[in-house]
A and B are shown apart, each in its own frame.
Chain A
Amino acid sequence: MSSAVRLEDVYRTYGAGDSEVRALDGVNVEFPEATFTAVMGPSGSGKSTLLQCAAGLDRPDTGRVVVAETELTGRNETSLTRFRRRHIGFVFQSFNLVSSLTAAENVALPLRLAGRRAPDGEIRRALSSVGLADRLGHRPGQLSGGQQQRVAIARALVVKPSVLFADEPTGALDSNRGREVLALLRGLVDELGQTVIMVTHDPVAAFRADRVVFLRDGRIDGDLVRPTADAVAARMTSLEAE
């Protein structure tokens, strides 16, 4: 199985002098295609930085990032943006919908930003696949949190991304709505062969992944394949205790 995302010797430091923070301290990790990987770690372990570097939102100081067999290192902002909008989808904890646009328009936005047509059928399909076929014309303010997150997922999927990145996608939802969203992501991997990389601190969420990668102080600290929630929780407890 080839890898969808590969990080090689990635270092990323913020600030300078006394306030220097080593967010990533020599990270080597691969995320295979059509798998669901969770990235976990205590607060400040570098989870979000890892995700942002892998997604081309942030640039490593040194090291390589390869997504869909394309090297991201050394590209300028415009070129990175073009790459991202073709190959990468995002889902975030705060759903980040444009409040002035309807659900359908939010979903169409990435296509239109890329200068592509956004056929109604395609938009409708994307929203149906997250179970929101009847909410096309609603504004974010008129939708529940779970519905908003599903619109965000539809928006991420509409460009048919090589990789879908999710940063704490259930963080702002109650447990029932959170479970629905996780089931949706799981389904994408199983049924469509979508690659999903999710940052979370919730062992219940991580349990739905194929593999959990642990991060501590900016370094990879082992992984668990086919994890159980208990194993994940135990591992997290030990990470946080150290």
Chain B
Amino acid sequence: MMLDVALRTVRTRWVSFAGAFVALALGVGVITSIGLVMAAASAASDGLGVQRFATAPAVVQSPSSVPVHTVKGVSRQFAARPPALDAELISRVAATGAVVADRTFPAQLAGAASGQVGHPWSVAQFAPYRLAAGRAPAGPADVVVPAGSGALGNRVSVLTRQGRADYTVVGLAEPAGFESALFFSDDQAATLSPKVDALVALGPVDAVRQAVAGDADVLTGPDRQRADPATVANGFRSVLTLLGVTGGIAAFVSIFVVSSTFAFVVAQLRRETALLRLLGATPAQVQRTVLAEAGIVGAVSGAVGCVLGVVGAPLLTWWLRDQQLVPSSFSAGPSVLPLVLAPAAGLAVALVGVAAASWRAGRLRPVEALREADVEATPMTRGRWVSGLFLVVTAVAVLGWVAVVQPKIATIPLLYLGVLLLPVAAFALLSPVLTPPLVRLVMLPMRWSSGAGPTLVRANAVAAVRRTAATAAPVLLTVGLATAMLGAVSTIDAAAMCEARQRVLAEQIVVPANTTQLNQEVLARVRATGAVVVAPAAMSGYTANARGDIHHFHLAAVDPIALARAESVPVTAGSLSALDDGGIVVSTDWNLTVGAHATVELDTGDTLSLRVVGVMQAGIRGPDAYLSAAHAADFPIAAAYIAPGTADTAALNQAVAGLGARVESRAVWIEGTASTAFRASWLGLLAALGISLVYSLIAIANTMVMAAAGRYRELAVLRLTGATARQALAAVAGETALVVVVGVVLAALATVVDLAGLSVALSRLTTDVVITVPWPTVATVAGVSFAVAMAAAVLTAAAGARSRAAMPE
């Protein structure tokens, strides 16, 4: 019975339900698309197969985690650069049978795309790499290059960590998909990279395991994939993270939109619901009807959303390929899980979203059917108060915690995003409380207007608080999301650039060109010009505090004298010049004082026991600690800073020519390199956020159509009272404008809270924090929201006025 009534209500009150339907179908569509692509990316990442050691029976490799010692015991932490295999272990394995040592090191053909690696030829057989032409490298000057990047007998320049050297192409290898590799003779490879990264063991696997005795990982079968270059898998992993965040935001937005849309539908059907009560429906029956309505809409729009999702997935894939986030061969096929989960989640969201509204509907008194006006006594329910205030408290607590305890989180986009959303959600929930005073405030300039328009607009907006709040909510979401995100990006960017300007004294900076790091020859040649150079070698490691908490820190090995001339390090205690081989200058994040002892366990497996000789202000970028250059080893060097006045640019340019490096001026470097990496990760996120923005714009149009369609009757009354068609539409337009302004003001409030938290966090990392909001972009988002809302409301009202006789029912 109730299902029957529900079905009919859905069928005939389609204008109201169309809104909920559209919101839910699109939400499910977006989530399904993301889910399908995520499933495909996850499968692709798992299904890469064993590549570099595809035909090797067993591979011995250091574990990709290192033990970190704390007061609570030993904890294993991820190591970006696993320790080398030591000679003693290698000889133990060699006793079980033949072994082949693999070394992976930067080796870049001059002029080829960045990221090439070098290997000893003996391991080529295990991928397997095949010779397309020529022979294996034998002498120290022989090299095998990927077919297509050189001809047999050519002399080629190869850039390695040491510098540039010329080799003769003796063979051409068929290219492999997972890496671009140059092969050297085994001896030459050992010279270029003494460190053994992995060992192929051809002896019996059990014997190998026994010989290793747990000192390293013995990889067999699919586990050998762990020895493959991380780039491809990493690429999928970062795409998965990106999509996960996008999906999370899309889910947040759709839950928000769908539940407010359903609440809106239920509010619009108030009279009919009360009528059912009047005719003998019990509160429980009414509640069930509303739930059934939500169920019907949820089920149908879930199905439609699935179809939209299947259509949308290739578009998303195309975008990912276009952004080179996935290989061009990647495509998202159908998979069951997203197609089941997304619509099920949609249905659940519809039911949960409508639960509160259905309870409210059940509590409607039958006599409400007899009332005409849309005046609502209590737009704020107790549940809304509780959850709204809870979110306010949570938002303030989390923003405060980040600002005071963990300011670095503010600089990690993926983590900080969720924090930025909290105030937006809190303001949305509390909007019915804030709307009436806001409406009065916004209308203040028109207080003395004698026209009927402003009076009518203000009265309507205040009388139907819930409707005003519900229509303002998507505007708040759209503008709030965009402003908070864009404001955070540019504020962090500005702060980082400001920090760089303060810290970097160098007028010239040598950076890698078409290679991944600076080589030793570049540094030697630059020094030979008489320049004073600081070339920080970047390493990372773990340290545990007295409570047993583990922190991951980035360290830089430098010459402290040169550093002091090329950079202004904000030392707050001790001194940089005291940095000797056993010393460390730490940032304030370490919570250590001068003279304290610091144990750092590097992710290469080495443990450094150091004495704190200086403390510096923690920064947004830049390392968390400086060590002496004695620890530099072969850690990568991303830039070399030249002390001012110690070199002229022409001489530097000449020195680095042909060595895979170039010289940048301070200004260019700060504008470019300083912010590129950071901005890229935010921009990827923002592009993904575009999906949510488009969705919430549709939600704005949707809500406006629903609101305007629910008011045909009111407009007819207005016409009867003597308003011309133009005046009636002007009233609609006026109220819509008011609603958008209310939404924008609420968004501004949420953004103020967000940016206040961010600026406190950043001020703990750097001195001059200026809140920067990209006003043109924000204004564009607000303007588009305004245009969409206005078009939707006025066109709907005009269509209603045309299609109906101007008589109230």
Residues of A within 8 A of B (CB): 52, 57-58, 77-78, 81-82, 84-85, 90, 92, 94, 96, 98-101, 109-110, 112-115, 155, 159, 167
B278 proximity list for chain A (CB < 8 A): 57, 90, 96
A109 and B8 contacting across the interface, CB-CB below 8 Å: no
- Contact mask B351-388 → A, CB, 8 Å, 1/0? 00000000000000111011010000000000000000
> When chains A and B are docked, how far (Å) is the Cα of A84 from the Cα of B282?
10
- Contact mask B271-314 → A, CB, 8 Å, 1/0? 01001111111111100000000000000000000000000000
A52 and B367 contacting across the interface, CB-CB below 8 Å: yes
**Which B-chain residue is minimally distant from A106 (CB atoms)?**
B279
B281 and A58 contacting across the interface, CB-CB below 8 Å: no
Nearest CB in chain B: distance from A200 CB, A:
15
**Which B-chain residue is minimally distant from A105 (CB atoms)?**
B8
B130: Cβ under 8 A from any A Cβ: no
> When chains A and B are docked, how far (Å) is the Cα of A99 from the Cα of B369?
13
- Contact mask B466-486 → A, CB, 8 Å, 1/0? 000000000000000000000
Nearest CB in chain B: distance from A173 CB, A:
14
B1 and A113 contacting across the interface, CB-CB below 8 Å: yes
B92: Cβ under 8 A from any A Cβ: no
> When chains A and B are docked, how far (Å) is the Cα of A96 from the Cα of B279?
10
Nearest CB in chain A: distance from B804 CB, A:
11
B13: Cβ under 8 A from any A Cβ: yes
A155 proximity list for chain B (CB < 8 A): 279
A112 and B275 contacting across the interface, CB-CB below 8 Å: no
Nearest CB in chain A: distance from B788 CB, A:
30
> When chains A and B are docked, how far (Å) is the Cα of A49 from the Cα of B365?
14
B11: Cβ under 8 A from any A Cβ: yes
Jot down 23 A-B pairs with beta carbons below 8 A, ordered by A.
A57-B365, A57-B367, A78-B282, A78-B283, A78-B284, A81-B277, A82-B282, A96-B278, A96-B369, A98-B272, A99-B12, A99-B272, A100-B9, A109-B5, A110-B280, A112-B4, A113-B1, A113-B276, A113-B279, A113-B280, A113-B285, A155-B279, A159-B280
Count chain A CB atoms within 10 A of each CB in B8, B13, B278, B284 and give the residue with the most: B278
B272 proximity list for chain A (CB < 8 A): 98-99
List of 4 A-B pairs having minimum Cβ-Cβ separation, nearest first: A85-B280, A100-B12, A113-B280, A81-B282
A101 proximity list for chain B (CB < 8 A): 8
Nearest CB in chain B: distance from A51 CB, A:
10
* A110/B279 contact (C-beta < 8 A), A78-B284, A115-B1 known: yes
A77 and B283 contacting across the interface, CB-CB below 8 Å: yes
**CB neighbors of A among B1-35 (8 A):** 1, 4-5, 8-9, 11-13
**Which A-chain residue is minimally distant from B271 (CB atoms)?**
A96
> When chains A and B are docked, how far (Å) is the Cα of A98 from the Cα of B277?
12
> When chains A and B are docked, how far (Å) is the Cα of A100 from the Cα of B285?
18
Nearest CB in chain B: distance from A139 CB, A:
9
> When chains A and B are docked, how far (Å) is the Cα of A82 from the Cα of B279?
10
Interface of B is mostly: helix
**Which A-chain residue is minimally distant from B278 (CB atoms)?**
A90
B285 proximity list for chain A (CB < 8 A): 113
> When chains A and B are docked, how far (Å) is the Cα of A58 from the Cα of B366?
9
Nearest CB in chain A: distance from B14 CB, A:
10
> When chains A and B are docked, how far (Å) is the Cα of A90 from the Cα of B282?
16
Given contacts A109-B276, A112-B4, 16 further A-B contacts (CB under 8 A): A52-B367, A57-B278, A57-B367, A78-B282, A81-B281, A82-B282, A90-B278, A90-B279, A96-B275, A96-B370, A99-B272, A100-B11, A100-B12, A109-B279, A112-B1, A155-B279
Residues of B within 8 A of A (CB): 1, 4-5, 8-9, 11-13, 272, 275-285, 365-367, 369-370, 372
* A57/B276 contact (C-beta < 8 A), A100-B9, A100-B11 known: no
> When chains A and B are docked, how far (Å) is the Cα of A110 from the Cα of B279?
5
> When chains A and B are docked, how far (Å) is the Cα of A96 from the Cα of B368?
11
**Which A-chain residue is minimally distant from B284 (CB atoms)?**
A78
A78 proximity list for chain B (CB < 8 A): 282-284
**Which B-chain residue is minimally distant from A96 (CB atoms)?**
B275
A92 and B370 contacting across the interface, CB-CB below 8 Å: yes
> When chains A and B are docked, how far (Å) is the Cα of A58 from the Cα of B369?
13
> When chains A and B are docked, how far (Å) is the Cα of A90 from the Cα of B278?
8
**Which A-chain residue is minimally distant from B285 (CB atoms)?**
A113
Nearest CB in chain B: distance from A163 CB, A:
14
**Which B-chain residue is minimally distant from A77 (CB atoms)?**
B283
A167 proximity list for chain B (CB < 8 A): 370
> When chains A and B are docked, how far (Å) is the Cα of A119 from the Cα of B369?
27
**Which A-chain residue is minimally distant from B362 (CB atoms)?**
A77
**Which B-chain residue is minimally distant from A97 (CB atoms)?**
B275
> When chains A and B are docked, how far (Å) is the Cα of A84 from the Cα of B366?
11
Count chain A CB atoms within 10 A of each CB in B11, B12, B279 and give the residue with the most: B279
**Which A-chain residue is minimally distant from B277 (CB atoms)?**
A81
> When chains A and B are docked, how far (Å) is the Cα of A78 from the Cα of B8?
24
A112 proximity list for chain B (CB < 8 A): 1, 4
A90 proximity list for chain B (CB < 8 A): 278-279
A114 proximity list for chain B (CB < 8 A): 280
**Which A-chain residue is minimally distant from B12 (CB atoms)?**
A100
Nearest CB in chain A: distance from B259 CB, A:
24
A81 proximity list for chain B (CB < 8 A): 277, 280-283
Nearest CB in chain B: distance from A147 CB, A:
14
Nearest CB in chain A: distance from B407 CB, A:
51
B276 proximity list for chain A (CB < 8 A): 98, 109, 113
Nearest CB in chain B: distance from A94 CB, A:
8
Partner among B11, B280, B283, B284 whose Cβ is within 8 Å of the Cβ of A84: B280
**Which B-chain residue is minimally distant from A99 (CB atoms)?**
B12
B277 proximity list for chain A (CB < 8 A): 81
Nearest CB in chain A: distance from B782 CB, A:
38
> When chains A and B are docked, how far (Å) is the Cα of A81 from the Cα of B277?
8
> When chains A and B are docked, how far (Å) is the Cα of A92 from the Cα of B13?
23
Nearest CB in chain A: distance from B803 CB, A:
13
> When chains A and B are docked, how far (Å) is the Cα of A110 from the Cα of B5?
12
**Which B-chain residue is minimally distant from A81 (CB atoms)?**
B282
> When chains A and B are docked, how far (Å) is the Cα of A167 from the Cα of B369?
13
**Which B-chain residue is minimally distant from A52 (CB atoms)?**
B367
> When chains A and B are docked, how far (Å) is the Cα of A94 from the Cα of B12?
20
Partner among B9, B281, B367 whose Cβ is within 8 Å of the Cβ of A113: B281
> When chains A and B are docked, how far (Å) is the Cα of A221 from the Cα of B284?
40
Nearest CB in chain B: distance from A53 CB, A:
11
> When chains A and B are docked, how far (Å) is the Cα of A110 from the Cα of B277?
10
A57 and B366 contacting across the interface, CB-CB below 8 Å: yes
> When chains A and B are docked, how far (Å) is the Cα of A77 from the Cα of B1?
21
> When chains A and B are docked, how far (Å) is the Cα of A115 from the Cα of B282?
11
Nearest CB in chain B: distance from A194 CB, A:
18
> When chains A and B are docked, how far (Å) is the Cα of A90 from the Cα of B8?
23
B372 proximity list for chain A (CB < 8 A): 94
> When chains A and B are docked, how far (Å) is the Cα of A101 from the Cα of B283?
21
Nearest CB in chain B: distance from A77 CB, A:
6
Nearest CB in chain A: distance from B601 CB, A:
67
**Which A-chain residue is minimally distant from B1 (CB atoms)?**
A112
**Which B-chain residue is minimally distant from A85 (CB atoms)?**
B280
Nearest CB in chain B: distance from A177 CB, A:
16
B279 proximity list for chain A (CB < 8 A): 85, 90, 109-110, 113, 155
Nearest CB in chain A: distance from B266 CB, A:
16
> When chains A and B are docked, how far (Å) is the Cα of A155 from the Cα of B372?
22
Partner among B1, B13, B367 whose Cβ is within 8 Å of the Cβ of A58: B367
Nearest CB in chain A: distance from B296 CB, A:
14
B275 and A98 contacting across the interface, CB-CB below 8 Å: yes
> When chains A and B are docked, how far (Å) is the Cα of A109 from the Cα of B285?
13
> When chains A and B are docked, how far (Å) is the Cα of A167 from the Cα of B279?
15
B367 proximity list for chain A (CB < 8 A): 52, 57-58
B283 proximity list for chain A (CB < 8 A): 77-78, 81
> When chains A and B are docked, how far (Å) is the Cα of A96 from the Cα of B371?
11
**Which B-chain residue is minimally distant from A93 (CB atoms)?**
B370
Nearest CB in chain A: distance from B202 CB, A:
79
B8 proximity list for chain A (CB < 8 A): 100-101
**Which B-chain residue is minimally distant from A112 (CB atoms)?**
B1
A84 proximity list for chain B (CB < 8 A): 280
**Which A-chain residue is minimally distant from B279 (CB atoms)?**
A110
B1 proximity list for chain A (CB < 8 A): 112-113, 115
> When chains A and B are docked, how far (Å) is the Cα of A90 from the Cα of B365?
15
